[in-house]
Structure 1
Amino acid sequence: MQCSNVRRDDGAWVGLSLDVEDRRRPGLCVFTAGPRLLLSQLSRPVLLAVVDEQLQGVDFWRTDEYRSFVPPLRADVGRALAGSPERWAHRFAQYLIDSPDSPLHEGRWLLSHESPLQRWRHADTSHGEYWGSMLVDGHPEGYVDWFLHSHSWEVLPLRPMPDADDSRVKAYRKQAREGTLPPVLLWWVSGLDSHLILDGHARLAAAIAESVEPPLLQLHRTVPRDDLAARIDDAVGFYEDELARFAELRTIHGPTVPDGAATAGPQLVRLLHDLNTAEQPTWAWPLPGGLTQWRRIAVEVTTRQDWPL
């Protein structure tokens, strides 16, 4: 895996670009059978989902089979890395690549400490209220409401959230108050239009209980390497076309017309930045056995013939 820092044009650190090779199918894998999804971890069903016919949401059934690939994070490590999302990102990137049951597969990824979730909170809403409202309820079954939460990208836990008085949550609440809480690791899955919690259920519960903003690391796919060169050429071509257009206008109207660099230059920078940061749809693999196999798994997992209704 090749790992490189992604920065803004002002030098601010955004995240790590992960270029993964020789990993054709991940251990934590999304399978599809028509409008039905299966999230499986090393052949263990973790989550079943059905997109409704009106495309307004997803019914899901969550099993208790998900296992985090991140080892327990000690309090002294939290204190040592506090305030350094870059150092945390390098540590989590190593967990992702070393584990056989992470979602990484061939392609380019971004592991960023920035998330759209952090931009939606209103100033008059506390952190506890906001992050509590972003959690998808329901265990074992529930519903992700795309209509009500259009493009606000809720957070879907892969196991039940622990209570505020859980022993792990109590330990993390102290770290949340001290500002040494390790980040919550999220994975944006386009087929669910949600962020799945890969690691940090107790840490997020602690942040909500203490009403502080939880530190985040968000994982998502970016533009694949096969398309990158063509996308760069397109961005540079747009820049050159804009300069040529302004040059024609200057020929007609004189030197009072700007040369266009002040407009086209920042646009080029944004386009190139997006190639390393913009979210790309999550890859999914056809489920062997198709719909018949999905239904068989659903009956085994739910012990019900009528799910989904």
Structure 2
Amino acid sequence: MQQFWWRDLRDLEDKWVGLSIEVNRPKSSKPLLHLQSGNNGRMKFMLNGSPLFWATIATSYYGAWLVRNPRPVQLESSPVPPIDSADVQEHFELPVEERFPRWCRYFINQLMNNQADFLYPGHWVARPLLPAVSRYKPVAGPDGWYFSTPAEASSHLPNWYARGEGILDNVQPHTVHWLDWGLGHLIGLHTVDPFAGRLKWWRKKAREGSLPPILLWYVGGLCSYVVIDGHYRLQAALDEGVKPDFIVLSSTKAQQIKPCEATQQRVFSSLMLQNARNSKFNVHTFNQALINTFDDRPWHWAGTHAWAGIPSDQAWCAEVTSFLTEQGNTEHLQDIIERCEY
């Protein structure tokens, strides 16, 4: 039996920054959707015993190779049931500041009710990933899109980013990809039918501005995100040229910090001296400096648990070689096997 608890997360200025989820399920229970790892930087992303993709980290640690397994238009079972028009309208009518907290709760409740077949035991965080001003040279179209977590007042939670050129094609997916860790790639788990009626409906919602956020799972070993729910919503946004919103789910570990007492005392003494000398010393600056100096809350870093399911490096290489040979796509096979940078 598995249980879930969740609570809202707020920063130092009481601004909502995400949702905290505690997952309690038997540790021996392997989720249907899970990551497997082996030696020599090898990985497999599995669903019901079948690989959705293989991956391997380059020896330079600047990126990874991804080999996608073609899937049917839909997975056999989705962690999140289809969102209906009533849910879309209900959330669209909310005040803007309430939409993301409510969508986060919606997705977590759906995962809970459907046995959440990819959440393993431990602490998870759901955070928004929103359109932002690009830090890079402007590029026309979706390739120039940029997304990041909103600015906040020190919540000690993971921050996310993604670039439009890192969104992989799910209509005519390529089998082999080089994942540049600077892009924050979005990896779809199944293909999208460009003529599906549901895609036309989501394109309408994108034009109306009521498109629900897309649910992602951060995979630490690839510095990328897997699309858990919203393949058609993502495609609708791309087709309409409308930047979508995302919710990133990540498992986290708390890292305790112990501030240096001597440093704290020096900062405190310096602030008191400045305050005494300057009657107009900004109170907010004073308080913020004290908070930052004496803040001993743990930092939460994101990681992805993987099961040791790959027998050997030789077995992984043989499996990928056989698959790419069958696909007639062996151009980058040697680089993949040898973990060479693209």
Provide the TM-score with structure 1 as the length reference: 0.79
Cα distance, 1:263–1:43 mapped onto 2, change above 3 Å: same
1:138-188 Cα distance to aligned partner (Å, 9 max, x none): 735222332xxx43312122223443x542221101111122211101111
Q: Does 1:175 align with 2:201?
A: no
Cα distance, 1:248–1:108 mapped onto 2, change above 3 Å: same
Aligned to 2:45: 39
Cα distance, 1:180–1:243 mapped onto 2, change above 3 Å: same
Find the partner of 2:182 among 151, 154, 163. 151
Q: Does 1:265 align with 2:291?
A: yes
Letter in 1 for 2:17: V
Q: Indicate the structure with greater helix content.
A: 1
Q: Does 1:134 align with 2:202?
A: no
Give the total of aligned pairs: 291
Structure 1: segments with no counterpart, 5+ residues: none
User: For residues 223 and 23 of structure 2, what CA distance do their matches in structure 1 show?
Assistant: 23
User: For residues 186 and 251 of structure 1, what CA distance do their matches in structure 2 show?
Assistant: 46
Is this contact kept in 1: 2:20–2:123, CA < 8 A? yes
Cα distance, 1:100–1:119 mapped onto 2, change above 3 Å: farther
Aligned to 2:333: 308
Find the partner of 2:125 among 98, 107, 110. 110
Is this contact kept in 1: 2:88–2:211, CA < 8 A? yes
Cα distance, 1:251–1:75 mapped onto 2, change above 3 Å: closer
User: For residues 44 and 11 of structure 2, what CA distance do their matches in structure 1 show?
Assistant: 36
Pick which of 279-288 and 178-187 moved more: 279-288
Find the partner of 1:283 among 287, 305, 314. 305
Identity of aligned residues (%): 23
Aligned to 1:160: 191
Q: Say which SS state the counterpart of residue 285 (structure 1) adopts.
A: coil
User: For residues 151 and 113 of structure 1, what CA distance do their matches in structure 2 show?
Assistant: 19
User: For residues 199 and 68 of structure 2, what CA distance do their matches in structure 1 show?
Assistant: 22
1:1-51 Cα distance to aligned partner (Å, 9 max, x none): 220101122222111101112242332211111211100123221111122
Is this contact kept in 2: 1:111–1:220, CA < 8 A? yes
Provide the TM-score with structure 2 as the length reference: 0.72
Q: Does 1:9 align with 2:12?
A: yes
Aligned to 1:87: 102
Letter in 1 for 2:82: P
The runs of at least 4 aligned residues of structure 1 exceeding 6 Å deviation read 250-254, 257-260
Cα distance, 1:120–1:153 mapped onto 2, change above 3 Å: farther
Aligned to 1:68: 78
- Pairing of 1:251-262 with structure 2 (within 5 A): 256=277, 262=288
User: For residues 185 and 156 of structure 1, what CA distance do their matches in structure 2 show?
Assistant: 12
Letter in 2 for 1:9: L
Find the partner of 2:60 among 34, 49, 54. 54
1:73-125 Cα distance to aligned partner (Å, 9 max, x none): 1122111112511111111112333445633111211111235x745466955
Find the partner of 1:205 among 227, 232, 235. 235
Cα distance, 1:145–1:44 mapped onto 2, change above 3 Å: closer
* Alpha-carbon offset, residue 212 of structure 1: 1.7
Aligned to 1:77: 87
Q: Say which SS state the counterpart of residue 286 (structure 1) adopts.
A: coil
Structure 2: segments with no counterpart, 5+ residues: 146-163, 335-342
